[in-house]
Amino acid sequence: MKLSEFVCTKFGNLICFAYGLFIENEPESEKDDKSIEELFGLIYEIKTGETYVDDYFSQKMLELYFKGFMVGGFSLINSGYSIQSIVEHTFSEIKKRATNDEWLYCKNVYDKYLVKLHSYYGKEELKLLIARRID
């Protein structure tokens, strides 16, 4: 689903924040390939509303989207605020500006994405810590 610009930026930063927390202090492995492919697909979908297709133009656009969201995600990680307050605050901002469809999409995709990250990296305590707590 293509999200409005504000919602897309906040949500993209949030999923990159979650990704960054899960990969922190992890040695590189083949599970990284799966998790980064998942992240790429998600980023492309929220920016364009389309499924990622591996062609030159899509690759270049994805590279731009990815860099922007990763900067936002790692800025959140390094902000000094607690993980829970970042998640709660970001979701409250999304909820204020999202349409009902966007809000439902963000909630569902975020929850599913955390389950996938957990399946790749474990870290049950992290999954619980960054779980969405706003409805």
pLDDT at 42: 95
pLDDT in tens, 86-128: 999 999 999 999 999 999 999 999 999 999 998 888 888 888 8
Q: How far is CA 45 from CA 12, 49, 101, in A?
A: 10, 5, 15
The whole domain housing 29 covers: 5-129
pLDDT band at 133 (very low <50, low <70, confident <90, very high): low
Burial class (CB in 10 A: 0-12, 13-18, 19+), 133: exposed
Looking at the domain assignment, is residue 135 inside a domain? no
Q: CB under 8 Å to 73, separation ≥6 — which residues?
A: 13, 14, 15, 16, 17, 18, 19, 20
The number of folded domains in the chain is 1
Complete DSSP assignment for 4-61: PHHHHHHHHHHHHHHHHHHHTTPPP-HHHHHHHHHHHHHHHHHHHSS----SHHHHHH
CA dihedral sign of residues 115, 117, 123, 126: negative
Looking at the domain assignment, is residue 134 inside a domain? no
Spatial distance between the Cα atoms of 78 and 82, rounded to a whole number of angstroms: 10
pTM of the model: 0.91
Contact 113, 18 (CB under 8 A): yes
